[in-house]
A and B are shown apart, each in its own frame.
Chain A
């Protein structure tokens, strides 16, 4: 297989941590509305965006994710009132830190997607997948064993 063909064959793996109340419902809406989004996306349902421990993000990279997205309710709309405000601070710190360690910041993103934004969910997943496809496979934190 030539290098070019290998690049074409590269299908990124995107792990999405979707908040149960907004973004996961948004993904559901995208599905029930018959919208398409790339099958590279694997959604993991979490109770809240603030449930996302940085361990989860790093583990995803270790086990082969090329990009990680945390999706939660819009600030102010959190089911638990304040969860995503905490998440915004903590994930901002994490994102800058990953960049400092040498990981491309595009590989870790946070998006606010509400339960009624099925179209936005599909669009964001499309954009993220294309961005990661252009970046190529992530080898920076992968567990090579």
Chain B
């Protein structure tokens, strides 16, 4: 991981100095020990600020929507989930592949700082990964822990740790060890309708409608969003349960069949709504009804809800 940290600085500096690209999108450390923000580097001397550490969880693919404007070529670092997001943007014809250079980064899971903090690991000066272990450097010296215990939940179910699309791969490919991703969806499905309704009503009513889940999503790339347009005003401004339900049902529906299951919606939610479960419900249903489909793996395929077969099954009694 240390090695890769140096590699990304080198490759970014090289491509900027050669003039191959106008901009490099990567990550840089923030003010707090667990923050690794997206970084936008246009000069060779600034590439020293780029970083790769176990907190570089932000999916960078979506930033291309804005950053690609007016640039000849943009280089971007992609993990497994970022590459899926990028492919989705390509499928939606929102990004020009010719204008992007992809540095692939194999990633076997990133660290959720809240899991560390819950165990009392606070104010660490450095966190690095060595094999399957996480080295935590703090005031009381170094400590080694099992990395998988502190990963984001979404990383535990990750099936594409190696980027599915890249121009240059940095580092060695890693092996996927995915856990069952539909486990909590299945748990919810076994509840009664009223229990499920109470569960989701309690969740949705906590929503503050900051739209972070929409803004971070690589599948939510519409130029004009129905939640923003004044006429017709689909989503009211009032803090009312039915409006919250409307927002969350429609948000999940709009990415149905195109959600790459990167889990960014759940990560960015300030009130911790389990939004990925909504998306996964759609993925599970569509897989069951219309065949297995993994969004973002191949940008040349058609998403399941924009196509059909004449002998499709239906989820309602056809009479």
A101–B188 alpha-carbon span in the complex (Å): 9
Known: A58-B246, A102-B194. A91 touches B200 (CB 8 A): no
Known: A89-B290, A110-B316. A104 touches B242 (CB 8 A): no
- Smallest CB–CB gap between B68 and chain A, Å? 30
A99–B194 alpha-carbon span in the complex (Å): 10
Do A62 and B242 have beta carbons less than 8 Å apart? Answer: yes
Chain B residues, CB < 8 A from A144? 240-242
B-contact 0/1 string along A26-69, CB 8 Å cutoff: 00000000000000000000000000001100110110000000
The count of residues in chain A whose C-beta lies closer than 8 Å to any C-beta of chain B is 38
Do B310 and A97 have beta carbons less than 8 Å apart? Answer: no
Do A101 and B200 have beta carbons less than 8 Å apart? Answer: yes
A residues 103-118 near B (Cβ < 8 Å) are 103-104, 109-112
Do B240 and A145 have beta carbons less than 8 Å apart? Answer: yes
Which residue of B193, B234, B246, B315 contacts A95 across the interface (Cβ within 8 Å)?
Answer: B315
A103–B195 alpha-carbon span in the complex (Å): 11
Interface segment out of the listed B36-44, B114-122, B214-222, B280-288: B280-288
A43–B188 alpha-carbon span in the complex (Å): 34
Interface segment out of the listed B22-30, B50-58, B143-151, B249-257: B249-257
B296 in the interface (beta carbon within 8 A):
no
B-contact 0/1 string along A80-97, CB 8 Å cutoff: 001001101111111111
Do B196 and A101 have beta carbons less than 8 Å apart? Answer: yes
- Smallest CB–CB gap between B234 and chain A, Å? 6
Chain B CB count within 10 A is highest, among A55, A61, A93, A144, for: A93
Give the 7 A-B residue pairs with the shortest CB-CB distance, closest first. A102-B197, A92-B315, A85-B308, A102-B196, A143-B242, A110-B316, A96-B285
CB pairs A–B below 8 angstroms (24 shown)? A54-B249, A54-B250, A55-B246, A58-B249, A76-B310, A82-B308, A86-B306, A90-B305, A91-B315, A91-B316, A93-B315, A94-B253, A97-B253, A97-B256, A99-B193, A100-B185, A102-B195, A102-B200, A103-B193, A103-B197, A109-B316, A112-B319, A143-B243, A144-B241
Beyond the given pairs A85-B309, A102-B198, A141-B246, 7 more chain A to chain B contacts, judged by CB atoms under 8 angstroms and listed by A's residue number, are A86-B308, A92-B289, A102-B199, A102-B200, A112-B319, A143-B240, A144-B242
